[in-house]
Amino acid sequence: MKRIAFVTGATSGIGEAICRKFIEAGFRVIATGRKQERLDQMAMEFKTDILTICYDVRDIAATEQALSTIPEEWQEIDILVNNAGLALGLEPEYEGDFNDWSTMIDTNIKGLLTMTRLIVPGMIRRNRGHIVNIGSVAGDAAYANGSVYCATKAAVKALTDGLRIDVAHTPLRVTLLKPGLVETNFSNIRFHGDTERASNVYKGITPLTADDIASAALYAIQAPEHVQIAEMLILATHQANGSTIVRN
């Protein structure tokens, strides 16, 4: 019987790459996100190995409703990947946008908590499961003009560590992946569609790819049952931390 992985934020970037990597490795995937058209395309591509559900993790009621529609044969979720997340804006904290802050907090923190609360109890009952949270190097230390995003990813680390403590009496494993500079649509979203500004983020350095992070996630979940990859920091070769990047 193929194991089932539940992936949030699955319609692009790291989330989509994780779906692809897991399906290639023999898993079935429940792919979720806000873009129905993209989910439909994924459903056509992967056929019986994927179940797609469209909802916004910021909406607790919608999330509960979405999960209630999961067919019985898909309900025993083995792996939860809390990937849905984003950065919005890059300005001093005293000039930040209230709406940007709310979106980041509601998605990066509250969305992760909602999914954890709704799915992990089933893992506890079945006495098996693996939770993979996608954090960021930004959660290790604040950088200029990004304090709120950094704060949300610091919260992801704290929540991941706390969950690992809470399930230590069970066989469940909890992993935090902390990517550095990854070239996806992340920066385009951060800069509200300013493609030129977004492209400058990756100039002069070979950044990570979404597939690199997907490979790290697969490594963690395929580790022997007695091995828990608690935390993994993944950086581009010429990136030392969240703010030190050497460009050509």
Known catalytic membership, residue 149: yes
Determine the average pLDDT of the residues in 114-130: 98
% of the chain with per-residue pLDDT over 70: 100
Q: Is the pLDDT of residue 67 over 90?
A: yes
Q: Is the pLDDT of residue 221 over 90?
A: yes
Per-residue confidence at 170, pLDDT binned at 50, 70, 90? Answer: very high
Active-site entry in 94, 149, 202, 219: 149
The structural domains of the chain, with segments of one domain joined by +, span: 4-234
* Length of the chain, in residues: 248
Determine the average pLDDT of the residues in 156-185: 97
So what's the pLDDT on residue 186?
Answer: 85
**Sign of the CA dihedral 19, 25, 68, 163?**
negative
So what's the pLDDT on residue 188?
Answer: 85
Q: Is the pLDDT of residue 241 over 90?
A: yes
So what's the pLDDT on residue 192?
Answer: 87
Q: Is the pLDDT of residue 193 over 90?
A: no
Per-residue confidence at 41, pLDDT binned at 50, 70, 90? Answer: very high
Determine the average pLDDT of the residues in 139-164: 97
Tokens of 166: 């809470």
CA–CA distance, 143 with 11 (Å, rounded to integer): 28
Token pair 């990756």 is found at 202
So what's the pLDDT on residue 106?
Answer: 98
Nearest to 82 by CA among 13, 8, 3, 156: 8
Q: Is the pLDDT of residue 187 over 90?
A: no
Residue 19, sorted as left (phi over 0), alpha (psi -120 to 50) or beta, turns out to be alpha
Determine the average pLDDT of the residues in 103-110: 98
CA–CA distance, 42 with 52 (Å, rounded to integer): 8
pLDDT in tens, 9-34: 999 999 999 999 999 999 999 999 99
So what's the pLDDT on residue 191?
Answer: 87
CATH code for the domain defined by 4-234: 3.40.50.720
Q: Which of the residue ranges 65-79, 92-106, 125-139, 190-204 would you say has the lowest mean pLDDT?
A: 190-204
Tokens of 196: 């030129």
What is the reported pTM? Answer: 0.95
Determine the average pLDDT of the residues in 177-186: 93
Token pair 């030392």 is found at 240
CA–CA distance, 64 with 201 (Å, rounded to integer): 37
Per-residue confidence at 231, pLDDT binned at 50, 70, 90? Answer: very high
So what's the pLDDT on residue 30?
Answer: 98
So what's the pLDDT on residue 26?
Answer: 97
Residues 84, 33 contacting (CB under 8 angstroms): yes
Q: Is the pLDDT of residue 84 over 90?
A: yes
Three-class DSSP category at 19: helix
